[in-house]
Structure 1
Amino acid sequence: MIEISNLEKSFGSNQVLKGVSCTLETGKCNLLLGGSGTGKSVLLSCIVGLQKPDIGSITFDGTVYTNAKVGIRQEIRRKIGMLFQGSALFDSMTVAQNVDFPLQMLTPDMSAEERRDRVEFCLKRVGLENAGNKMPSDISGGMKKRVGIARAIAPNCTYLFCDEPNSGLDPATSIKIDELIYEITHEYNITTAIITHDMNSVVGIGDHIIFLHQGKKLWDGTKEEILNAEVPELREFIFSSSLVRAAKRVEEEDGPQGLEQLAQEPLSEL
């Protein structure tokens, strides 16, 4: 569990985060939802330590990360996996070498054979067991995302952060990536945070959703609760999606069982 308390962050006269407090729950997909420029990326940067907040605290499973000693911060960082928006694979390395990279950096006590076994396991877990010798230029965008996920979980991460994992993907591939992140989160009991503005992801894997608007947290809850949220800014945001309008209609007509069935329907039929 990651607890964020009263976080503020400014860049010059521009205050981006305005007293954000929220909890990222263990074993759940925690979605940071909001439009462009609402503070999602800055919040994530503060949580992982790329930015230092002006005010507030961040706690990882009871250990205060903000202003902690270097050794404590390094220990927490070793438990963090990151899936970047553009995958950020090394073009000069094979798929297997990309997945092996964090193992070389973060697990110096592992032998070459142990690292090789771990790489093979992670690639198999994301369905790429036969792609280890390929170069990033030889694989599709969806496969690159899968490699990015394999690399993120390779060091047995406790916390997984995903920056718009569906960016640039077609709808069918986006669903598969969402499902993979969801499965890994629940299978390994990871605290997962996902930056998104995609309501398809919210309806599909939103265990816990945090809605940001103009640097403030205006609402949090589950994907079942979000359809009935009374926050005007949130309602304006979510009901701009045809999928969510369909989900609301199905919920009113058929209840929770109808929502489960809707989640399995092809997007073209909505």
Structure 2
Amino acid sequence: MIEVHNIQKSFNGNPILRGISCTFETGKCNLLLGGSGTGKSVLLQCIVGLMKPDIGSITFDGTVFTNNKVDIKQEIRRKIGMLFQGGALFDSMTVYENTEFPLKMLTPEMTREERRDRVEFCLKRVGLENAGNKMPSEISGGMKKRVGIARAIAPNCTYLFCDEPNSGLDPATSIKIDELIHEITHEYGITTVVITHDMNSVVEIGDHIIFLHKGQKLWDGNKDEILNTTVPELKEFIFSSSLVRAAKKVDEETEGGLAAVVEEPLKETEEAPKTPNS
């Protein structure tokens, strides 16, 4: 569990984060939702220690991270996996070498054979067991994201941070990446934090959602609650999509939502009187 307490951050006197307090729950996909410029990336950088907040504190499973001793902060960082927006693979390394890289850096006690077993396991887990010898230039955008996930979980991370994991992907591939992140989170009990503005991701993997607007946390809940929000800024954000508006309308007009729309014609057909044969 990651706890954020009253985080404030300004640049040149311009407030970006305005006293944000929230909790990212263990074994769940925690989504940081909001439009561009709402402070999502700045908050993530403060959490992982790439940026120091002006005020506030952050704890990882009860251990204070902000302003703690260097060795304690380094120990926490070793438990963090990152999936970057563009994949951020090393162009001169193969898929295998990219996945192995954090093991060489963070777990020097591992033997070459142990690293090999771990890399092969992680690549197989993301469905790339036959792509180890390929270069990043030889694989698709979706495969690059999968390599990024394999690399992030290779050191047995406790905390996984994903910055816009679906950026630049087609809808079908985006869903597959969402599903993979969700599966790995639940399978290994990881505390996962996903930065997104994609409502498809919210519907697919939103175990816990935190909505940011102008540097403030305005709402938190889950994917089953978000469509019924009464927060004006959140309603404006989620219902900017015509698809979401249509889904909401169907849900309100039918007793069982979309399922009822599909099942009702079948029910009528089954109950319709049979005409006698002539």
| Aligned-partner residue type, residue 75 of structure 1 | E
**Given the alignment of the two structures, is residue 102 of structure 1 paired with residue 67 of structure 2, yes or no?**
no
Mapped to 1, the partners of 2:243 and 2:202 lie a distance apart of 10
Mapped to 1, the partners of 2:45 and 2:255 lie a distance apart of 40
Match of 2:267 in 1: none
Q: Is 1:99–1:147's contact at 8 Å kept on the other side of the alignment?
A: yes
Match of 1:214 in 2: 214
Match of 1:53 in 2: 53
Report the CA distance between 1:197 and its aligned residue: 0.3
Q: Is 2:160–2:191's contact at 8 Å kept on the other side of the alignment?
A: yes
Mapped to 2, the partners of 1:239 and 1:192 lie a distance apart of 26
Change in Cα spacing, 1:227 to 1:21, as seen in structure 2 (3 Å) is same
Identity %: 82
Q: Is 1:199–1:243's contact at 8 Å kept on the other side of the alignment?
A: no
Secondary structure of 1:224's aligned partner? coil
Alignment deviations for residues 83-119 of structure 1 (CA, whole Å, 9 cap, x no partner): 0000000000000000000000000100000000000
Q: Is 1:251–1:258's contact at 8 Å kept on the other side of the alignment?
A: no
Report the CA distance between 1:13 and its aligned residue: 1.4
Mapped to 2, the partners of 1:234 and 1:155 lie a distance apart of 37
Report the CA distance between 1:257 and its aligned residue: 7.8
Q: Is 2:59–2:65's contact at 8 Å kept on the other side of the alignment?
A: yes
Match of 1:266 in 2: none
Where do residues 168-247 of structure 1 align in structure 2 (5 Å cutoff)?
168-247=168-247
Mapped to 2, the partners of 1:78 and 1:256 lie a distance apart of 45
Mapped to 2, the partners of 1:247 and 1:209 lie a distance apart of 19
| Aligned-partner residue type, residue 147 of structure 2 | V
Match of 2:143 in 1: 143
Match of 1:85 in 2: 85
Q: What count of residue pairs does the alignment treat as equivalent?
A: 260
Match of 1:113 in 2: 113
Mapped to 1, the partners of 2:259 and 2:181 lie a distance apart of 24
Match of 1:264 in 2: none
Match of 2:7 in 1: 7
Change in Cα spacing, 1:257 to 1:67, as seen in structure 2 (3 Å) is farther
Match of 2:265 in 1: none
Mapped to 2, the partners of 1:55 and 1:258 lie a distance apart of 48
Per mean C-alpha deviation after superposition, the further-off stretch among 248-257 and 209-218 is: 248-257
Mapped to 2, the partners of 1:254 and 1:184 lie a distance apart of 34
Mapped to 2, the partners of 1:189 and 1:49 lie a distance apart of 22
Secondary structure of 1:217's aligned partner? strand
**Given the alignment of the two structures, is residue 249 of structure 1 paired with residue 249 of structure 2, yes or no?**
yes
Report the CA distance between 1:250 and its aligned residue: 3.8
**Given the alignment of the two structures, is residue 160 of structure 1 paired with residue 160 of structure 2, yes or no?**
yes
Mapped to 2, the partners of 1:174 and 1:23 lie a distance apart of 26
Change in Cα spacing, 1:130 to 1:57, as seen in structure 2 (3 Å) is same
Report the CA distance between 1:249 and its aligned residue: 2.7
Mapped to 2, the partners of 1:77 and 1:254 lie a distance apart of 48
Q: Which runs of 5+ in 1 are unaligned?
A: 262-270
Q: Is 1:98–1:151's contact at 8 Å kept on the other side of the alignment?
A: yes
| Aligned-partner residue type, residue 18 of structure 2 | K
Q: Which runs of 5+ in 2 are unaligned?
A: 263-278
| Aligned-partner residue type, residue 200 of structure 1 | N
Mapped to 2, the partners of 1:184 and 1:250 lie a distance apart of 32
Mapped to 1, the partners of 2:151 and 2:165 lie a distance apart of 14
Match of 2:274 in 1: none
Mapped to 2, the partners of 1:245 and 1:90 lie a distance apart of 41
| Aligned-partner residue type, residue 155 of structure 2 | P
Q: Is 2:250–2:258's contact at 8 Å kept on the other side of the alignment?
A: no
Report the CA distance between 1:254 and its aligned residue: 4.3
Superposition RMSD in Å: 1.3
Secondary structure of 2:224's aligned partner? helix
Secondary structure of 1:227's aligned partner? helix
| Displaced runs of 4 or more, over 6 A | none
State the TM-score, normalizing by the size of structure 1.
Answer: 0.94
Q: Is 1:202–1:223's contact at 8 Å kept on the other side of the alignment?
A: yes
Match of 2:23 in 1: 23
